[in-house]
Chains A and B, each alone.
Chain A
Amino acid sequence: MGILEVKNVNKRFGGLQALGDVNLSIEENTVHAIIGPNGAGKSTLLNVLIGKLIPDTGSVMFDGQSVLGRKSYEICQMGISRVFQTPEIFGDLTVLENMMIPIFAKRDGAFQMNAIGATTGEKDVIEQAEHMLESLNMIDKRHFHSAAMSRGDKRRLEIGMCLSQNPRLLLLDEPTAGMARADTNNTIDLLKQIKEERDITIAIIEHDMHVVFSLAERITVLAQGSPLVEDTPDKIKGHPKVREAYLGESA
């Protein structure tokens, strides 16, 4: 029984079968990559996983609870954190403030009217945030205006913001898209480091094979809306069906 169980999911947009009979199980404490050529239904699947799209049939269970039809903040409070293709951070706020918000959210829930006490008086939260920034090597940037940082730094911050909530599942949507090689490698190293340091399940949806094969312990290949194969990276590499899906070679 995996931490995330997708069963018999179908999703149709008009005449297009975006997802067809998807079954997927992500085991706790693994790095699971979902790959596939363009139009394979990766984004649709991701949107189903986070409750944004409700499938026509099937179920998506996280730790025994259905995620379908839930609001995004509820899903996050359940323990699923999401990293976006383009880093989504609070650009108008400083790096430290960016890091404090998820810690508040973890501590106080989806809404807390704390309008009188000063933010600077929240020593615990600041301490936790600074600790997180230290482990990201970003502590000297804590008063930076976060929108002014490089894309790599923004990604690093975003991942840190997710981790500060101790999620049980971290969903990454093409985390290195549009990044320079150095930034990509930094991100890979960061994710490896995270995996070593804590018990966490990571699901990556990715295009870049370099990233996938450096990180993943299990890989699901999606083609035309359905899982083609699911196996370890070594076996996937030489798999004829995968080659066919990607290169159009006949087996």
Chain B
Amino acid sequence: MLGLNKRDFTLLLIVVALAMLAPFLLNPFPEGSAMAQFNAGYPDLMQKFVIYGIFAIGFNILFGLTGYLSFGHAAFLGVGSYSCVWMFKLLGYNVMPGILLSILTSGIFAYLIGVVSLRRSGIYFSILTLAFAQMSFALAYSVLSNPKFNLTNGETGLQVYSNDPQWLHSADKPDLPHLFGLSMRATHEMQLGAWQFQFNVGYYLCAIIMVLAFYLSIRIFRSPFGMMLRAVKSNNTRMYYTGLNARPYTLAAFVISGMYAGLAGGLLSAVDPLAGAERMQWTASGEVVLMTILGGTGTLIGPVLGSGLIKYFENIFSKINDSVLHSWFSFLPDGMEDFMVTIVHPFVGKGWHLTLGVLFMLIVIFLPGGLVQGGQKIRGLFTGRTEAEQAQADANQSTPAE
């Protein structure tokens, strides 16, 4: 269906269901209960889930298929964000032109960076993309925010001011980002007993776009183009001696994944019309790498899982403070309680980045294939089949051409 085989179609349905029912799925605990702190069904966080999902899906098209590890993808995210806010400033608060422009500009930007960076592969490529991203960050932070030519508004971040032209704005439209008049902030709240669910326009717009982005990525993975990209990763020499030019293939993958990042950046601005340079920093590039490898590089569902988990834990961990920790360990004797709180304290609250770094290392060391591979291993334990046999079975299933 939809040009997909049965397995992929099922996967798509799962993602659609997850995205559409997220307000329910992510709020399993009643309001006011002790467990409510683990709820994640409020609009801001759900938007982040799907937007960073798009970012990671795009990154996986490059890294998962071609094996080219870009350390500068945050630059495209930033370019997308700025483009979208500029559309708000010039045309008005409708998000559509902004999102389209962010895809376009990040695509052009990715092409320019890709042409230079892809002259090299391996480590060299990673370093080059990192350097380009840091340069973009410096450009956005200081160079392009001077009185003569202010493109990014530097430290303050780019936002809409009341004296901006907004040519297409009219009085009947909301004074906030909207989709043809429907405000992105509009939220329908539903009270079911002790449970509260929120349905937000901004979230559903992002979720629908994420589903489309995911669908497109399945098509790319299963296309001859996707096969060529996997061939690049597998054996560049054979690629060339088979009469194929690997360079345009990798460049196309780089541009596509840059456009995904730009789209994600545009959506970030669409739900919150403020674009800052910190979105382009290397930490942001590192984060998308982690999302992808945590879920499973080169797998379809991996990046979606990875981005959801990282953003969920970021949110939960940041909320935990010492009093929460004390309440968790209160069952222990006093000395032990304090000891445990001291041990855990650096990792929570403001220490989320430390947890992220540790997680990063653990995943790379022990589970380089990510959660998807971990899941396969566990499945293998139960069915008594080895990984190779499993892969064999999967391959047989996914090729209905026989």
Residues of A within 8 A of B (CB): 50, 71-73, 76-77, 81-82, 84, 88-94, 96-97, 100-102, 104-106, 108-123, 126, 143-145, 148, 161, 165
Contact = CB atoms under 8 A, between A and B. Distances in A.
A130 to B, nearest CB: 9
Is chain B's interface secondary structure helix, strand, loop, or mixed overall?
Answer: helix
30 contacts: A72-B240, A73-B243, A76-B243, A77-B243, A82-B241, A88-B237, A90-B239, A91-B235, A93-B227, A93-B231, A94-B395, A96-B399, A101-B227, A104-B228, A105-B242, A105-B244, A106-B243, A109-B243, A110-B243, A111-B245, A111-B248, A114-B223, A115-B252, A118-B219, A120-B222, A120-B401, A122-B224, A143-B395, A145-B388, A165-B243
B266 to A, nearest CB: 21
A115 B223 contact: yes
A123 B224 CA distance: 12
6 closest A-B pairs (Cβ-Cβ)? Answer: A76-B243, A115-B225, A92-B234, A110-B245, A90-B234, A72-B240
B116 interface: no
Given A92-B234, A143-B392, A113 B243 contact: no
Contacts of A104: 224, 227-228
A120 to B, nearest CB: 5
A84 B248 CA distance: 25
A90 B238 contact: yes
Contacts of A76: 240-243
A170 B41 CA distance: 62
B143 to A, nearest CB: 35
Given A117-B223, A145-B392, A105 B235 contact: no
Contacts of A91: 234-235
Nearest to A120: B401
A110 B244 contact: yes
B220 interface: yes
A119 B238 contact: no
B5 interface: yes
Interface of B: 3-5, 219-220, 222-228, 230-231, 233-235, 237-245, 248-249, 252, 256, 388, 391-392, 395-396, 399-401
Contact of B223 (A96, A108, A119, A148): A119
Contact of B245 (A73, A97, A115): A73
A171 B242 CA distance: 13
B245 A112 contact: no
B305 to A, nearest CB: 22
A118 B220 CA distance: 8
A77 B240 CA distance: 10
Contact of B230 (A92, A102, A105, A113): A92
Contact of B249 (A50, A111, A126): A111
Contact of A100 (B227, B238, B249, B252): B227
Nearest to B395: A143
A100 B256 CA distance: 24
Contacts of B256: 115
Given A71-B240, A73-B243, A90 B235 contact: yes
A93 B244 contact: no
Nearest to B238: A88
B107 to A, nearest CB: 14
Contacts of B234: 90-93
Contacts of A113: 225, 252
A88 B222 contact: no
A126 B227 contact: no
Nearest to B398: A120
Given A71-B240, A145-B392, A120 B399 contact: yes
Contacts of B225: 112-115
Contact of A161 (B230, B242, B388): B242
For A88, A96, A100, A108, which residue has the most chain B Cβ atoms within 10 angstroms? A88
A118 B7 CA distance: 14
Given A105-B244, A111-B249, 7 more contacts: A88-B235, A90-B231, A90-B235, A94-B395, A110-B244, A111-B244, A123-B401
Nearest to A164: B242
Given A90-B234, A92-B234, A145-B391, A102 B242 contact: yes
Nearest to A110: B245
Contact of A115 (B4, B226, B239): B226
Given A90-B238, A104-B224, A120 B243 contact: no
A105 B239 CA distance: 9
A104 B241 CA distance: 13
Nearest to A117: B223
A153 to B, nearest CB: 16
A118 B249 CA distance: 17
A242 B399 CA distance: 54
Contact of B243 (A94, A102, A115, A116): A102
B92 to A, nearest CB: 33
A82 B248 CA distance: 22
B222 A118 contact: yes
Contacts of A161: 238, 242
B238 A89 contact: yes
A84 B238 CA distance: 9
A89 B235 contact: yes
Given A71-B245, A120-B399, A114 B224 contact: yes
A168 B241 CA distance: 14
B219 A72 contact: no
A74 B264 CA distance: 38
Contacts of A145: 388, 391-392, 395
A120 B228 contact: no
B215 to A, nearest CB: 11
Nearest to A97: B227
B5 to A, nearest CB: 7
B4 to A, nearest CB: 8
A133 to B, nearest CB: 12
Chain A CB count within 10 A is highest, among B219, B230, B388, B401, for B401
Given A90-B234, A119-B223, A120-B222, A81 B400 contact: no
